[in-house]
Amino acid sequence: MSRHEEIAAGLAEVRARIAAAERAAGRPPGEVELVVVTKFFPASDVRILADLGVREVGENRHQEAQAKAAEVSDLDLSWHFIGGLQSNKAAAVASYADLVESVDRAQLLPRLAKGALARGITLDVLLQVSLDPPGREHRAGVPPEELAQLAAAAASTEGLSLRGLMAVAPLGEEPRESFDRLAEIRAAFLLEHPRAEVLSAGMSGDLEQAVAAGATHVRIGSAVLGSRPPVG
Ligand SMILES: *Cc1c(COP(=O)(O)O)cnc(C)c1O
């Protein structure tokens, strides 16, 4: 099988899963957007994805993302940055990303805005909410109780456009339970920010549960592209 055929098969399977999840949740077909996570995979795979109709791609490490985006800059793609953001890299990420999904603290806001203004754009951002139990080490995302404050700061930062929320289901809990909590957090958030309707949730292993809980975007890597080398 060629790489093109392999990716086409993975993509067809994931699109069918998304369609089935939309039906099961009573949601209109085509409502959920697929973001293919291309981390660890070469720019040639991104080219194949674009050829197969993918428009949104996700990356989680700045250097890799920047290099890959530059290699396929001739393609009409929307780049989502989905990884942990170092403050000193934030302005650089804003120079190529179309949507930064992983904003988890206020210090990032002026830096992202600076990068956006230098590029002459308004940068779309999502706030990453932690679904981890309190007290766990290395929680990614803003704790839910601090979300309102971060959202107010993001909404009032010139150069940024607050589009919604992102989350990753933690290990050690049924994804459905985590995503149900996320749906509640989002409902409260939408009262303050009614137009920030994006909800990025769901990966290869839990996209069905995320779609059931209202995800508008799913971020899928391995189910489309195959398994990655383990992260060290
Ligand atoms: C890698 C990654 C994904 C995709 O994970 P898969 O399990 O390969 O689908 C989604 N979201 C984030 C934040 C990631 O880092």
CA-proximal residue: ligand 1, atom 7 (nearest):
204
pLDDT of residue 232: 46
Q: Give domain status of residue 142, yes or no.
A: yes
**In contact, 38 and 57? CB cutoff 8 Å:** yes
How far does residue 204's CA lie from ligand 1's centre (Å)?
Answer: 7
Query: What range does the domain containing 96 cover?
Result: 3-225
The pLDDT score that the predictor gives to residue 231 is 60
| Residue at 231 is within a domain | no
Degrees to nearest 5, angle at CA 107 with 195 and 105: 55
d(CA 141, CA 8): 33
For ligand 1, whether the C-beta of 193 sits within 6 Å is no
Q: Which amino acid is at 102?
A: S
203 touches ligand 1 (CB under 6 Å) = yes
Ligand 1 proximity of 210 Cβ (cutoff 6 Å): no
> Is position 17 within any domain?
yes
Q: Within a domain: residue 116?
A: yes
| Confidence grade of residue 121 (pLDDT, cut at 50, 70, 90) | very high
Q: Is the CB of 39 under 6 A from ligand 1?
A: yes
Digit-coded pLDDT (tens) for 47-105: 999 999 999 999 999 999 999 999 999 999 999 999 999 999 999 999 999 999 999 99
Average pLDDT in the 27-32 region? 97
Using an 8 Å Cβ cutoff, are 108 and 143 in contact?
A: no
Encode pLDDT of 79-94 as tens digits.
Answer: 999 999 999 999 999 9
Residue 82 CA: which ligand 1 atom is closest? 13
Q: What is the CATH number of the domain that holds 27?
A: 3.20.20.10
Ligand 1 pocket test target in 33, 79, 203 with most atoms within 8 Å of CB: 203
What are the φ/ψ torsions at residue 17 (nearest 5 degrees)?
-65, -45
Per the structure, the count of domains in the chain is 1
Q: Is 139 within the bounds of a domain?
A: yes
